[in-house]
């Protein structure tokens, strides 16, 4: 099959591209390199440097005629969504709508959408959160990511567009940008390797559901053929606090300095972990890589980069 991957030069997208090419699919990458890197793109993929907001995206769809679209591109920084809500909506809502419209025009067989399990639910009423939990995002990013889910439902209803929504946890692993604004594991590891002091926002008891990128890639591959017009949480169901993550990375890297503690940022939830029972039952997916093993693999990647 031919698969078009938006954001295919980014952290998660590039790993999806690699997995698809490894399985002998034809792959087309659309990425404006705003946060992605040319070096991440598999040489076996056809690459278009382009924003998902560009009108020229239609030309790519007409030329390439993809069977599947894996929509990974997004503005993903919560703080930026709070400070620049119009920009966030343009990238995440209007850009995604541009992708969806082109999927309909080109009769794409399925679109897989990377949503956010960490942002759309808001503060949990119970843990772990399943797909039936109320949707009450507390950031503009959470609003924009969830809005696209409604567009997918509408176009599925009106035009028969097949879609799968994957609500991601906090994804970590190789290629996550340590100098970017998102990704606790990458930021902490990069700062520790530079002998800088990482910043923990809050007292350190804020929790997240950390899932290795390889497990997220596996979910995307399964979603190509399973679970039409459905929404799935992807996660481990385990909470890990910021302090626990700091202490674990410090131990692995032999880092002895203390973190900087700063006020919690606007739009960030306090606790989260995701119940992925539905994905296990309907997609046959569950997280495979334990956190400790995943962190060792990830740290090895950053050590190779910084040393």
> According to the model, what pLDDT value does residue 179 have?
81
pLDDT band at 270 (very low <50, low <70, confident <90, very high): very high
Same domain for 38 and 104? yes
From the list 133, 128, 140, 54, the residue with the least C-alpha distance to 97 is 54
Same domain for 181 and 160? no
Same domain for 14 and 157? yes
Same domain for 147 and 244? no
CATH assignment of the domain containing 88: 3.40.50.720
Same domain for 162 and 246? no
pLDDT band at 305 (very low <50, low <70, confident <90, very high): confident
Round to whole Å and give the CA distance between 92 and 164: 17
pLDDT per residue over 146-190, tens digit each? 999 999 999 999 999 999 999 999 999 999 988 876 789 999 999
The count of C-alpha atoms lying within 13 angstroms of the C-alpha of 266, restricted to the half-sphere facing its C-beta, is 8
CATH assignment of the domain containing 198: 3.90.25.10
Round to whole Å and give the CA distance between 122 and 141: 11
Same domain for 186 and 96? no
In this prediction, residues 117-128 reach a mean pLDDT of: 96
> According to the model, what pLDDT value does residue 181 have?
67
Same domain for 217 and 185? no
> According to the model, what pLDDT value does residue 183 have?
87
Same domain for 30 and 157? yes
pLDDT surpasses 60 at 111: yes
Overall domain count for the chain: 2
Asked if 203 and 261 touch (Cβ cutoff 8 Å), the reply is: yes
Q: Tell me the Ramachandran region of residue 190: left when phi exceeds 0, alpha when psi lies from -120 to 50, beta otherwise.
A: alpha
Active site residues: 141
Domain hosting 194: range is 172-207+238-273+289-306
Which residue in the block uniquely carries the two structure tokens 């009769």?
Answer: 107
pLDDT surpasses 80 at 306: no
Q: How long is the chain?
A: 307
Asked if 6 and 71 touch (Cβ cutoff 8 Å), the reply is: yes
Q: What is the CA 184 to chain-centroid distance, rounded?
A: 13
Same domain for 116 and 264? no
pLDDT band at 249 (very low <50, low <70, confident <90, very high): very high
The mean pLDDT of the chain is 96
Same domain for 183 and 298? yes
Same domain for 111 and 22? yes
Residues of the chain above pLDDT 90, percent? 94
> According to the model, what pLDDT value does residue 198 have?
96
pLDDT per residue over 180-229, tens digit each? 767 899 999 999 999 999 999 999 999 999 999 999 999 999 999 998 89
pLDDT per residue over 71-91, tens digit each? 999 999 999 999 999 999 999
pLDDT per residue over 2-50, tens digit each? 999 999 999 999 999 999 999 999 999 999 999 999 999 999 999 999 9
In this prediction, residues 272-278 reach a mean pLDDT of: 98
> According to the model, what pLDDT value does residue 307 have?
57
Same domain for 56 and 184? no
């Amino acid at each position: 099959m031919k698969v078009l991957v938006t954001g295919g030069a980014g952290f998660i997208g590039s790993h999806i591209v690699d997995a698809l090419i490894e399985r002998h699919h034809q792959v087309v990458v659309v990425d404006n390199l705003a946060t992605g890197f040319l070096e991440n793109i598999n040489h076996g993929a056809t690459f278009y440097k382009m924003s998902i907001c560009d009108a020229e995206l239609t030309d790519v769809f007409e030329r390439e005629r993809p069977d599947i679209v894996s929509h990974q591109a997004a503005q993903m920084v919560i703080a930026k969504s709070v400070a620049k809500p119009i920009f966030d909506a343009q990238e995440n809502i209007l850009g995604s709508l541009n992708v969806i419209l082109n999927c309909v025009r080109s009769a794409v067989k399925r679109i897989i959408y990377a949503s956010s399990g960490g942002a759309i639910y808001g503060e949990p009423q119970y843990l772990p959160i399943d797909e039936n939990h109320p949707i009450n995002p507390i950031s503009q990013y959470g609003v924009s990511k969830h809005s696209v889910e409604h567009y997918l439902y509408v176009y599925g209803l009106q035009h028969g567009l097949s879609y799968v929504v994957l609500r991601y946890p906090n994804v970590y692993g190789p290629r996550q940008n340590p100098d970017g604004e998102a990704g606790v594991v990458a930021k902490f590891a990069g700062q520790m390797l530079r002998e800088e002091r990482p910043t923990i926002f809050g007292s350190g008891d804020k929790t997240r559901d950390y899932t290795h990128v390889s497990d997220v890639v596996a979910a995307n591959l399964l979603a190509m053929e399973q679970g039409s017009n459905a929404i799935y949480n992807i996660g481990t169901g385990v909470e890990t606090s910021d302090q626990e993550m700091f202490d674990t990375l410090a131990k692995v890297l032999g880092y002895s300095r203390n973190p900087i503690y700063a006020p919690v940022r606007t739009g960030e939830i306090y606790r989260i972990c995701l119940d992925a029972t539905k994905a296990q039952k309907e997609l046959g997916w569950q997280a495979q890589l334990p956190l400790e093993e995943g962190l060792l693999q990830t740290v090895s990647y950053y050590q190779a980069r910084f040393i």
